[in-house]
Amino acid sequence: MPLKKRKHVNKKKVYTINDARKIVLQIKKIEGLSKNSLDNYEKVFNDFDRFWGEETDISSLTTDDVRQFIDWQLNKKIQFLNQKTKKVKKIGVSVSTVNTYLTYAKAIFSVLKNEEIVEENIFQHVKKVKEHQKKIDILTIPEIKKILRTLKKDEIYSEFRMYVLIHVLLDSFGRIGEVLSLTWNDVDFEHHCITFTNTKNKKIRTIPITKKTVKLLQELKEENADFKSEYVFLTNHGKPLGQSAFRKHLKTIIERAGIKKRVHAHLFRHTASAMFIQQNGSVRVLQKILDHSDLSTTQRYAHVLDSTIREQHERFSPIHLLEEHKQRKVKRTKGGNQNEYPF
């Protein structure tokens, strides 16, 4: 009696979420994505781990799992879970954050599909969560002046550095990562412009700056001479200033100035953009300066025209012409006290 031959079965390899993370990040690094973009991919995978578990077979996930994931992010995700300093844990993230994560998740599954790890992109046909457009918060001119006056720029090196940094943020409309990556080779003192090389979309962007900002940068270069560093913005010890140190120093200054609103690096970019529009600057030109690929993103700043129109109307309404007999009103130390100035 002939023996039955054992059938050879090709068992399909199971890829876990952790396996997928390694593959996608390796591909994205080879593609030359910025550190910020790679960090965002990591954040999405961290949420995949928290919700589904890192050992979950990624090919087993369905569109229904995606909907549950979105619901968890919006309504159940505990923020700052591992930060002991945050006593009150916030539940749920903003619609804007969820939509950003969806964009990255869609890109992740696109890679996995191309690599034949999954059969379909389960995020492909998932619509973004409807977001009610909010007016962008900005700083007022008195608030900016108050912040600048608070800085002890004639006494402390780190305070003068922040004074210059705020001027560059406002004058260049730059993102904080772009500004902190500036080297002296990126500053053209003769033609009054700076060039951002470490940009969000990897495109080099040259922006003109005012004479005042150029003068401040020249003064900062002299202050930095002892450090022998190519970077423009440095710590007290001559190392490139990082975003974390910048945030801590900014928080200290804002508290000292007595400003109650939440002030962060991107608020200076919002403020500069709103003021540009308020002074009748072209939206198209602003789009180029901000490096927005979509004009609708730039047009978010158009709300500032509402207040401008109201002020102009109040001032120049023809009704005023009908009123009778009524007048119309028309040397620095580096370091200093390390407890007070550790930046």
**pLDDT of res. 296:** 60
**pLDDT of res. 330:** 46
Q: What is the pTM of this model?
A: 0.62
Q: Which tokens belong to 299?
A: 């047009």
Of the candidates 175, 147, 162, 168, the one whose C-alpha atom is nearest the C-alpha of residue 35 is 175
- Cα–Cα distance between 164 and 212 in angstroms, integer? 10
**pLDDT of res. 271:** 86
Of the candidates 131, 132, 66, 78, the one whose C-alpha atom is nearest the C-alpha of residue 102 is 66
**pLDDT of res. 89:** 67
- Cα–Cα distance between 337 and 93 in angstroms, integer? 39
- Cα–Cα distance between 23 and 17 in angstroms, integer? 10
One fold for both 17-114 and 141-309? no
**pLDDT of res. 204:** 83
Q: Which tokens belong to 189?
A: 């003192």
Q: What is the mean pLDDT of each run of 10 residues along the chain (343 residues)?
A: 51 88 95 86 95 94 94 88 62 89 95 94 91 76 91 92 93 88 93 85 82 93 92 93 92 92 87 79 70 59 55 54 49 65 67
- Cα–Cα distance between 202 and 200 in angstroms, integer? 6
**pLDDT of res. 48:** 96
**pLDDT of res. 30:** 93
What class is the 17-114 domain?
mainly alpha
Q: Which residue is listed with tokens 């009103």? A: 329
**pLDDT of res. 122:** 95
Give CATH superfamily name and number for 141-309. Answer: Intergrase catalytic core (1.10.443.10)
Residue 175 DSSP SS3 = coil
Domain-wise residue ranges, the chain: 17-114, 141-309
**pLDDT of res. 58:** 95
